[in-house]
Structure 1
Amino acid sequence: MVNSSALSGNGTEPRENLYQSKFVYIAGIAEMVVVILLILCFCIFICFNALILNVYFTTPHIQEHARYVLFVHMLITDILYLIASISLFLAALYAVYITVPICYPILNLAALTFRITACNLAIMALERYVAICYPLRHFQFCNAHRANTSIILMWVVGVVPNVADFFAMQSTVEQYFFFRNVRCNLSILSVNSLQNTIRTLTFISTFTLVALTIVFTYIKVMQVAKKVGSGTSNASKAGRTVMMHAIQLLLCMTAFISTVSETYLRDSPAILLTLNFLLFTCLPRFLSPVIYGVRDEVFHKYIRKFCYFNL
């Protein structure tokens, strides 16, 4: 009986090891496919944005409109955000250690561009509000110069929490900490509770103000549209544009679904983490400029013309 069970166990163990090795091999192939898909989507995203940027910088009269200045700024911000986020994700996925002076700026760039995209959407909604509710003063308030000024202010105000986070961290860690090689993520560089407080308050205040701004502008614009009483009026179109900004804000915030779900998928196969990152962090950013660029009449016309002459 002892010999029989021993033989049975010896026969089952290699079979289980074979199944396990096959599963690991298939999971590795699937993970590689998803990573390649992620990189391919990013390349398509870059090409599409390059087309829009080419239209913008080669068409002088477009550069005079505040809405297009803000839209192009959002595209550039999204590119920076995705470069930082994908770099951090791939480094984490393949266990690449990065020195703190490189890791910390990349993390801060991702956080900063994440917030600035939300603020940019609020400014774009305000531009539509002024265009509809104060049409005679629209060019006075919403010209290219003021749009560029608002962009500078967004970056200046947006970088304040990052500076505060740096000083909070520096006051706690020893000097040698900045010469360490680490797995680059927020938990490694969150060395005291003050940093978490700064990040939480910054997130809540930013997205609350942005959401309230979008809701306010949408209500005001739709009130004008209701008075005009025409479904094809500029006010109705502006209302749909503001609603699109609200959808873009929701798409932007899906990145937090990725952050939360990562805690539950920490011990899961890498392919689930990769799919989670692709669907909730990258895909919304990939879709946002496509939705706006194709929907906008000016960009749509130039994109069609460009594709016609280059096919």
Structure 2
Amino acid sequence: MSNVTSSQTNITDGQQFRGLVELLLFSAPITLSCCVFLFINCTMFFTLRSKLLFRETSRYILLYNLLFADTAQMALSQVLYILSACRVMLTYPVCAVLTMLCVLAKDVSPLTLVLMSLERYVAVCYPLRHTAIITIRNTEVAIVVVWAVSSLNVLIQVLLLLEFLELENLQMKELCSIENMLLGPVYKDYDQVYTFCLFVSAGVAVTSSYIGVMVAARSASTDKASARKARNTLLLHLVQLGLSLSSTIYSPLVFSLTKLVDRKTILRIQSILYVCVILLPRCLSTLIYGIRDQNIRPILIGHLCCRYKLSVVLTAKVSV
């Protein structure tokens, strides 16, 4: 009898060890990738606060707001990923706080892209009135409105959540995620409708700004170089909007794949999709914008390479 018990214990220990190894194999590279992306975004933060030009120019203030929302969403998504990978079961209130903050940051990004597109539209189509319309105060008010609209959506979701939440049992039966917090059909329908309206409205606004710039570029009184740069910037905003939209297909795609492939395969696919669809767009969009900008590029590259240069100098001193 003792031999049977010992054998069962060894099998259980072996399964736990394999589960731990599997967890490390899948989680460590993703966590490392997230740390790299967070480092790049934090460097971008530092860059946008390093010069007075960036702090007192509307488009850079809007870029900072976009970067803040993307970085917050990236960090919160990684926290949720680590909790899920470690099989940590949370209570509904704790999970609701994490997921609602993630929703708030996710909603701010497309609305900020709309503001950035309108700013470029005014700069090209109304150059003489640009400084009067796009002021620091107006930009700050617009950012406050963006956060207020996003917060209102979160408040509505919280109220819908409380309607379906059983207060007698706050412990979640599943892992914490936005999808597992959709407790009722009304909640799910509202989330889908709001997301659809948000991205359609943002897409229409950015596309309309692009068309307006294209029309203005044909005018003889318009600066061709400025119009061309604005057109390329608006195209970038459309790409950024598409990257933001890509995060909404992550969960449905993973859910569909679970019916087709085994657990190990779905873990690998889920990890790749998480990096490519959730993490990478939050870093790539602002990084591309920063590299394209002639004012940001030299400072950003200098900050990103500072550690490399420092290590080279220290190595040279040690060798001497």
Normalised by the shorter chain, which TM-score bucket?
0.7 to 0.9
Quote the offset at 1:82 in angstroms: 0.8
Residue 287 of structure 1 and its aligned partner are, at CA, apart by: 1.1
On the 8 A contact 1:161/1:198 being kept in 2, the answer is: no
Return 279-288 or 118-127, whichever deviates more. 279-288
1:288 aligned onto 2:285: yes
Distance 1:146 1:33, change over 3 A: farther
Moved more, 160-169 or 204-213: 160-169
Which of 114, 119, 122 is equivalent to 1:127?
119
Q: Which residue of 2 aligns with 1:64?
A: 56
* 1-structure distance, mates of 2:293, 2:31: 27
For 1:9, the equivalent position in structure 2 comes to none
1:49-198 mapped onto 2 (5 Å cutoff)? 49-178=41-170, 182-198=174-190
Offset of 1:50 from its aligned partner? 2.1
Number of the residue aligned with 2:253: 261
User: Aligned partners of 2:192 and 2:252: how far apart in 1?
Assistant: 14
- What displacement does 1:91 show? 1.8
CA contact (8 A) 2:92 2:172 kept: yes
Q: What's 1:241 paired with? A: 233
Which deviates more, 117-126 or 176-185?
176-185
Q: TM-score scaled to structure 1, two decimals?
A: 0.84
CA distance in 1, matches of 2:149, 2:130: 25
C-alpha separation in 2, matches of 1:129 and 1:244: 14
| Secondary structure of 1:97's aligned partner | coil
8 Å contact kept, 2:23–2:85? no
Give the % identical residues: 22
Residue deviations 1:192-234, cap 9 Å, x none?
2221122112111111110000110000111122335999610
Aligned to 1:272, which of 255, 269, 274? 269
1:299 aligns with 2:289: no
The offset of 1:188, in angstroms, is 3.3
Q: What displacement does 1:258 show?
A: 1.5
Q: Output the CA distance in 2 between the equivalents of 1:272 and 1:106.
A: 24
Measured after TM superposition, the shift of residue 169 of structure 1 is 2.3
Contact map agreement 1:80 1:110 (CA 8 A) in 2: yes
Distance 1:37 1:286, change over 3 A: farther
Please give the root-mean-square deviation of Cα atoms over the aligned residues, in Å.
2.6
> Is the CA contact (8 Å cut-off) linking 1:63 and 1:144 kept in structure 2?
no
Deviation at residue 181 of structure 1 after TM alignment: 6.7
Q: Greater shift after overlay, 215-224 or 186-195?
A: 186-195
Cα distance 1:231–1:263, how it changes in 2: closer, same or farther (>3 A)? farther
Alignment coverage as a number of residue pairs: 289
1:308 deviation in Å? 6.7
Spell out, residue by residue over 1:12-70, the C-alpha distance to the aligned partner (whole angstroms, 9 max, x if none).
xxxxxxxxx9xx96x98676344322222222222222222222223112211110001
Residue type at the aligned position of 1:283: L
Give yes or no for contact 1:99–1:182 (8 Å, CA) kept in 2: no
Q: Tell me the equivalent position of 1:212.
A: 204
| 1:26-37 paired onto structure 2 within 5 Å | 32-37=24-29
1:100–1:182 contact (8 Å) kept in structure 2 = no
